[in-house]
Amino acid sequence: MLQKAFGEQALSKTQTYEWFKMFKEGRESVEDEERSGRPSTSTDEQHVNAIKELVLKNCRLAVRDLAGLVGISEGSVKTILRDHLCLKKVKSRLVPKTLNHASFSS
């Protein structure tokens, strides 16, 4: 019935039974549980602060330049800029997404 109602987006029969079993055993949340794995070492507080300082000194630095100066991957730099510092590129400048400098400088 689920596949008929929701098509390809529906859980498979096996997956439905697994979820049913977990809830029957006492699970209350539908959110994913924490998984063990290798922690991110490039987006730690030290790297976030280093990127923040470089951007405050020169907001025209390219992601490639920031990655080279700090010694982490370009993907990690993009994650720090987007998720931790809430910045985005606007005409070759890194600016706060909300365009409120007070929120960035704190």
Domains of the chain: 45-105 (1.10.10)
pLDDT at site 21: 94
Query: How much is the pLDDT for 90?
Result: 67
**Does the pLDDT at position 37 exceed 90?**
no
For 40-75, the pLDDT digits (tens) are: 778 889 999 999 999 989 888 889 999 999 999 999
The per-residue pLDDT for 26 is 92
Instruction: Please tell me the number of Cα atoms within 13 Å of 81 on its side-chain side.
Output: 24
The β-bridge partners of 89 are 94
Model pLDDT, residue 52: 92
